[in-house]
Amino acid sequence: MSYQQLEISLAPHKKIYFASDFHLGAPNHAESMVRERRLVRWLESIRHDAQLICLVGDLFDFWYEHRRVVPRGFVRFMGKLGELSDAGVQIIAFPGNHDMWMSGYFEQELNIQTFRQPLELSVHGTSSTVTLPTNFFITHGDGRGPGDHTYKVLQKVFESGVARWSFGNLLHPDWALWLGQTWANYSWRKNEKGVKPDFLGDEKEWLLLYAKAEEQKAHHDFYVFGHRHIELDYPVNAQSRILILGDWITDNTYAVFDGTAMKLHNYPNNAAG
């Protein structure tokens, strides 16, 4: 399978940041606002050394773009993204299963390129001692790897042109967004967001199995995923690692690549902007 490609040269003293699973809008306005303000403080804290910010899916608990209507709210978060983008920080986004219906608003209004398929990112350093690029494989992670056949069928249905057209044209935006947010709230309660899932181990952790299968096809130094709501930095083999980005519901997890090292971090709840 051919994946999308992106190649960059990392400037001296610059970094690449990765984060996912903000689920803005859930479980209610008050709790979401606290999370949104925290995200804005984090984005402000990294603006001076961030060359590239990768937002790896489920930024919102539900998102749908009509031709002339987008969901209300999230103005602080969106405003900060626009501010950073205008200042020259490159930002890319990966639709997740909760915001799979991104369809142009981010590109047009915020200059944020979206990648619906896995991205192979090649990063060239500026050091004369580094001759090979660092290769990343990035996607949200929903529907990847073995198992979860019911979701994979539903994913194909939701991503179909018929479903997108029907949702966007047969329902008034108020009804469509209410329906989507109701479904997202049900999913939140069903999956007990805020309760951390467990790492399933070498033989059952399906994103790890997916990374191992992809590594058989082509080498990548780092496999970066969201979706699972666990923090994981784990070897795929002797040359590759998988990083799963946790979430911003409980642990405020993000990853940083500084040109040589890739590490997971946690942004403090009480950190000042």
What are the chain's domains?
4-266 (3.60.21.10)
Overall pTM > 0.75: yes
Task: Write down the pLDDT at residue 180.
Answer: 62
d(CA 242, CA 220): 10
**For residue 209, pLDDT beyond 70:** yes
pLDDT category of residue 258 using cuts at 50, 70 and 90: very high
Peptide bond into 27 cis (omega under 30): yes
Alpha helices in 117-269 (DSSP H): 149-159, 161-169, 173-190, 206-217
**For residue 162, pLDDT beyond 90:** no
- Model confidence over 134-143: pLDDT tens digits? 999 999 999 8
Task: Write down the pLDDT at residue 132.
Answer: 80
pLDDT category of residue 175 using cuts at 50, 70 and 90: low
